[in-house]
C-alpha cells in the first residue's frame, strides 16, 4: 500500500440530469486501486456502484454528467500519471481495453449472437492491437486456453455455450491486451454457485499469473469477504466504509456494513440471528441532509442530519487504511449486532411517489 495506486479516484461525482431535478448517483467518492490488488465494491441496486466504475472510464452517456473529481491512472506502460477525465478521445481509445478492461454483467447479452467466439475475440484484437493475422489467431487460442475453454469450441456460437463458458469468453476478451486494471461488474451473478466458484478461482489464478488489479463490483458481500483484499461499501451514491476484508468482516464500523453482514444467512458455523435492514434506500432525486442511511439506522441521533459524509479513519482498527463515514459508531460500539431503528414495529416503506 506504500506505492502509488494504479487507479486513483478522487472527489468523483456523477449526476443523472432529469427534468426538474438531478439524481445524485455518485457523490464525492474517493477510492484507490493498487497494483495486484482486488478491491471489492459492494452495494445494493441503485447505490451507484456501476455508475462509479463506468464513470471512471468515461463510459457513461447523457443524461449522466460527471460533475467533479479526477481519475488518475498510473500504469507501468504509461509515461506519466494521467487524468482519465481530461484525456483526449484518441488517448482514451488507447487506454480502454489495453490498460483498463471491463467484464460486463450478463455475458449472455454482451456477446454478439451471430459471430462465433473466435471471430468476436479477433474483432477486439483488431480494434485495439495491431498484429498479423496468424499471430492474432494464436493469441485467440491461447486466451481461450487461459480461461479453460477447449480449442474445439473456438468456432462455437454464444448460444452453443453454457452461461459459465460465455462468461469465460468475456474474461478472455478482457485479458486480450494484457490490461493493468480489470473492472468486473457482477461477473458471476447469473451463474450457479458451483460454476461461480470455479470462475472466481480462475480469476484469482489469472490475476496472480498476469499481475493485473481488479475492481470487483457486486451486491454479494459474502462473496467479497472471501475474494477481495479490500472492500468499499457503497450506499446511496456515497462510500460508507472502506477497509481490509478481514476488518470489514470482524470489526465493521459503519451501521450499514453491520446491517449487510447480518443480511445473508451463512451456511457454515453456528446459526446467527439474522436481522436484515428494515426500510428501503432513499430517493436520490431529493437533496439529502447528512447521512443517507439515517432513516434505516438504529444508531441515529439528531446530530446525524448534519454529519459531513467524508470518510474518517477508524482509530482502533488494525488496518491503518480502514475508514468510515460514520463519526459516531466505532467497531467497539456494542457487540456488532445491528440495532433496529426506533419505531421499526410499525415501519413503512416510503416511496418516492
Exactly one of 20, 132, 269, 306 binds other proteins (CB under 8 A); which one?
A: 269
Judged by beta carbon, residue 47 or residue 82, the one nearer other proteins is 47
Contacts of residue 1, Cβ cutoff 8 Å, sequence gap at least 6: 34, 321
Indicate whether 219 belongs to the interface with other proteins (CB under 8 A).
yes
Distance in angstroms (rounded) separating the CA atoms of residues 30 and 10:
4
In whole angstroms, the minimum distance from the beta carbon of 236 to other proteins comes to: 12
DSSP code per residue over 88-146: -HHHHHHHBTTTEEEE-S-HHHHS-TTS-HHHHHHHHHHHH----HHHHHHHHHHHHHH
CB of 270 to other proteins, least distance (A): 9
Q: Which residues, 145 to 174, sit near other proteins by CB under 8 A?
A: 148, 162, 164-165
Q: Is 260 in the site for other proteins (CB under 8 A)?
A: yes
- How many residues in the shown chain lie near other proteins by CB under 8 A? 52
Residue 35 or 225 with smaller CB distance to other proteins: 225
Contacts (CB under 8 A) with other proteins, residues 26-85: 44-45
What phi and psi, each to the nearest 5 degrees, are found at residue 140?
Answer: -60, -45
**Interacting span for other proteins (CB under 8 A) from 13-21, 129-137, 173-181, 277-285:** 277-285
Q: Would the CA dihedral through 101, 105, 111, 117 be positive or negative?
A: positive
**DSSP sequence for 259-326:** HHHTTS--SSSSPPP-----S----TTS---S-TTGGG-SS--GGGGG-----EE-TT-SSTT-EES-
Tell me which residue has cell 459531513.
308
Q: Binding residue for other proteins (CB under 8 A) from 276, 312, 313, 320?
A: 276
Q: Tell me the three cell numbers of residue 92.
A: 482514451
Residue 226 interacts with other proteins (CB under 8 A): yes or no: yes
Closer of 125 and 199 to other proteins (Cβ): 199
Task: Choose one: 105-113, 114-122, 130-138, 263-271; the region binding other proteins (CB under 8 A).
Answer: 263-271
Our CB check for other proteins shows the closer of 29 and 165 to be 165
Cell output for 141:
487460442
CB of 63 to other proteins, least distance (A): 19
Contact 163/195 with Cβ under 8 angstroms? yes
Alpha helices in 214-277 (DSSP H): 221-227, 245-250, 255-261
Indicate the DSSP class of residue 339: P
Instruction: Name the segment binding other proteins (CB under 8 A); options: 21-29, 84-92, 311-319, 344-352.
Output: 344-352
| Residue given cell 480502514 in the structure block | 322
Q: Which of residues 186-205 bind other proteins (CB under 8 A)?
A: 192-198, 200-202, 204-205
Binding site for other proteins (CB under 8 A): 44-45, 148, 162, 164-165, 192-198, 200-202, 204-205, 208, 219-223, 225-227, 245, 249, 259-260, 263-269, 271, 274-278, 280-281, 346-349, 351, 353
Amino acid at each position: 500500500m506504500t506505492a502509488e495506486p494504479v487507479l486513483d479516484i478522487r472527489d468523483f461525482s456523477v449526476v443523472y440530469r432529469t427534468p426538474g431535478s438531478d439524481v445524485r448517483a455518485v457523490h464525492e467518492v474517493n477510492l484507490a486501486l493498487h497494483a495486484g490488488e482486488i478491491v471489492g465494491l459492494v452495494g445494493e441496486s441503485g447505490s451507484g456502484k456501476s455508475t462509479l466504475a463506468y464513470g471512471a472510464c468515461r463510459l457513461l452517456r447523457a443524461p449522466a454528467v460527471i460533475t467533479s473529481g479526477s481519475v488518475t491512472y498510473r500504469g507501468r506502460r504509461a509515461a506519466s500519471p494521467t487524468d482519465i477525465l481530461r484525456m483526449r478521445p484518441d488517448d482514451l481509445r488507447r487506454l480502454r481495453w489495453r490498460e483498463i478492461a471491463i467484464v460486463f454483467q450478463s455475458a449472455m447479452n454482451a456477446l454478439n449472437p451471430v459471430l462465433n467466439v473466435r471471430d468476436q475475440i479477433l474483432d477486439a484484437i483488431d480494434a485495439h492491437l495491431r498484429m498479423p493475422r496468424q499471430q492474432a489467431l494464436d493469441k485467440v487460442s491461447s486466451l481461450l486456453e487461459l480461461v479453460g475453454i477447449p480449442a474445439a469450441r473456438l468456432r462455437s456460437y454464444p448460444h452453443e455455450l453454457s452461461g459459465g463458458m460465455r462468461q469465460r469468453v468475456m474474461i478472455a476478451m478482457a485479458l486480450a491486451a494484457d490490461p493493468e486494471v480489470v473492472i468486473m461488474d457482477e461477473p458471476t451473478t447469473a451463474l450457479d454457485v458451483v460454476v461461480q466458484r470455479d470462475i472466481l478461482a480462475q480469476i484469482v489464478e489469472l490475476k496472480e499469473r498476469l499481475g493485473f488489479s481488479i475492481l470487483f463490483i457486486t451486491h454479494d458481500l459474502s462473496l467479497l469477504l472471501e475474494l477481495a483484499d479490500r472492500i468499499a461499501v457503497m450506499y446511496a451514491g456515497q462510500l460508507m466504509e472502506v477497509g481490509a476484508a478481514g476488518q470489514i468482516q470482524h470489526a465493521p464500523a459503519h451501521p450499514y456494513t453491520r446491517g449487510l453482514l447480518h443480511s445473508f444467512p451463512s451456511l457454515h458455523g453456528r446459526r446467527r440471528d439474522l436481522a436484515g435492514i428494515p426500510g428501503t434506500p432513499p430517493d436520490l432525486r431529493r437533496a439529502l441532509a447528512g447521512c443517507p442511511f439515517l432513516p434505516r439506522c438504529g444508531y441515529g441521533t439528531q446530530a446525524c442530519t448534519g454529519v459531513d459524509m467524508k470518510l474518517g479513519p477508524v482509530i482502533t482498527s488494525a488496518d491503518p487504511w480502514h475508514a468510515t463515514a460514520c463519526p459516531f459508531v466505532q467497531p467497539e460500539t456494542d457487540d456488532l449486532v445491528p440495532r433496529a431503528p426506533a419505531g421499526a414495529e410499525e415501519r413503512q416503506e416510503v416511496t418516492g411517489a
